[in-house]
Amino acid sequence: MNKVILITGASTGIGNETARLFQAKNWKVAATMRTPERSEDLQRIADIECFRLDVTDVESIKSAIAAALDKFGRIDAVVNNAGYGLTGPFEAASDEQIRRQFDTNVFGMMNVTREILPYFREQKRGTIVNVASVGGRITFPLYSLYHSTKWAVEGFSESLQYELEQFNIRVKIIEPGPIKTDFYDRSQEFVRKEGLSVYDSFVDMLAPNMKKASDDAPDGRVVAETIWDAVTDGSKRLRYNVNTKGILLARRFLPERVFFKVIKTVLGGK
C-alpha cells in the first residue's frame, strides 16, 4: 500500500515542491491550503488531493485530517510547512501583526501536531516534519519577530521528540537558509508605522543585500529533497539543514562579537 503524506501550506513554494516530489516517488499526497480551489496545478496531478486547512482554524485541521484518512486510509507523515515572515523594525509592529505571526508559525504548527498525534499514537508510527529555518538557530536584523517564532519551533520540536519516541513517532526539523520561492513576495509582510522614520536609513542599507541573498539562492526543490530524506531515511536524526552548513559552523565556533560583525559586514550594516 502506498504511503501518505499530509502537507500544510502546499499551494506554492516549498510545500508545492514537496507535494510534487512525494507524488513522483509513489506516495499519496494530501496537499492542504487555505484556498484549495486556487491550486488547479496540483489538482490535475494523480494521487494528489487538495484539502482546505487553515492552521489557525482547529476545526479545519480536524476536517482535513479526517478527509485525508477517508480518501487514502492512512497518514504516515505530516509536514508543518505553512507560515509567513513578518519583517521590519520591531517597534513598528502592531499587536495584531505580532499575534498573527505567532498564530501562524507557532500555534498553527502546534494545532496540526496536536490533532495528528492521537492517530499516530494509535498506529504506533508516524513522522512529524516541522519546517523551521536557519533563522531558528541564528538571527539577522529586521527579522526579530520571524526569528522568535522559528526559535520557538526549534525548542518545541526538540522537546517533543523525547515525549514521542516511546510511540515510534519521529520528529524532524528542517532548517532552510535563503531559498528562491515566492516567500519574499507573497508570504512576507514588512511592518510600517506612521511617523516612525528613524529606522529608514538602516532598512535602506540592509534591504538590497538581503534581497540579493534570496535572488541568488537555490529554489524550493532542494528543501523538498531534504524533507524526503528526513521522512524516509529511517533515522532518529532531528535536524536537517539546507544550504546553511557554513553559517551554522561559523555560529558554533566563532565568538559572538566576531560572528555578529560578520553578519553586519555581509549585509552592509557595519
pLDDT in tens, 54-107: 999 999 999 999 999 999 999 999 999 999 999 999 999 999 999 999 999 999
Residue 1 — pLDDT band, cuts 50, 70, 90?
Answer: confident
Q: Is 119 a catalytic residue?
A: no
At residue 187 the predicted structure's pLDDT band, cuts being 50, 70 and 90, is low
User: Distance between CA atoms of 125 and 119, rounded to whole angstroms?
Assistant: 9
pLDDT number for residue 209: 75
Query: Residue 95: what pLDDT?
Result: 96
All three cell numbers of 114, joined, read 496536536
Helix (H) / strand (E) element for 86: namely strand 85-87
Provide mean pLDDT across the span 35-43. Answer: 91
Looking at per-residue confidence, does 63 or 39 come out higher?
63
DSSP state at residue 52: E
Confidence of residue 116 (pLDDT cuts 50, 70, 90): very high
Domain ranges for the chain: 4-267
User: Is there a contact between 106 and 128 (Cβ–Cβ < 8 Å)?
Assistant: no
pLDDT in tens, 193-252: 999 999 999 998 887 777 776 666 678 899 999 999 999 999 999 999 998 888 999 999
Residue 227 pLDDT: 98
Verdict on whether the full-model pTM lies above 0.85: yes
How does residue 183 score in pLDDT terms, banded at 50, 70 and 90?
very low
Taking 60 as the threshold, does the pLDDT of residue 184 lie above it? no
The CATH classification number of 4-267 equals 3.40.50.720
Beta-carbon contacts of 120 under 8 Å, excluding residues fewer than 6 positions away, are 126, 128, 164, 167, 169
Min mean pLDDT across 172-176, 182-186, 213-217, 254-258 is at: 182-186
Task: Tell me the C-alpha distance between 228 and 13, whole Å.
Answer: 15
Among the options 84, 119, 143, 146, which is catalytic?
A: 146
Please report, rounded to a whole number, the percentage of residues in the chain having pLDDT higher than 70.
Answer: 94
pLDDT confidence of residue 244: 87
pLDDT confidence tier of residue 269, bands split at 50, 70 and 90: low
Give dist(CA 156, CA 188) in Å, integer: 23
Task: Name 65's Cβ contacts closer than 8 Å, sequence gap at least 6.
Answer: 6, 75, 115, 116, 119
Share of the chain above pLDDT 90, in %: 81
Q: What angle do CA 63, 69, 230 make, to 5 degrees?
A: 105
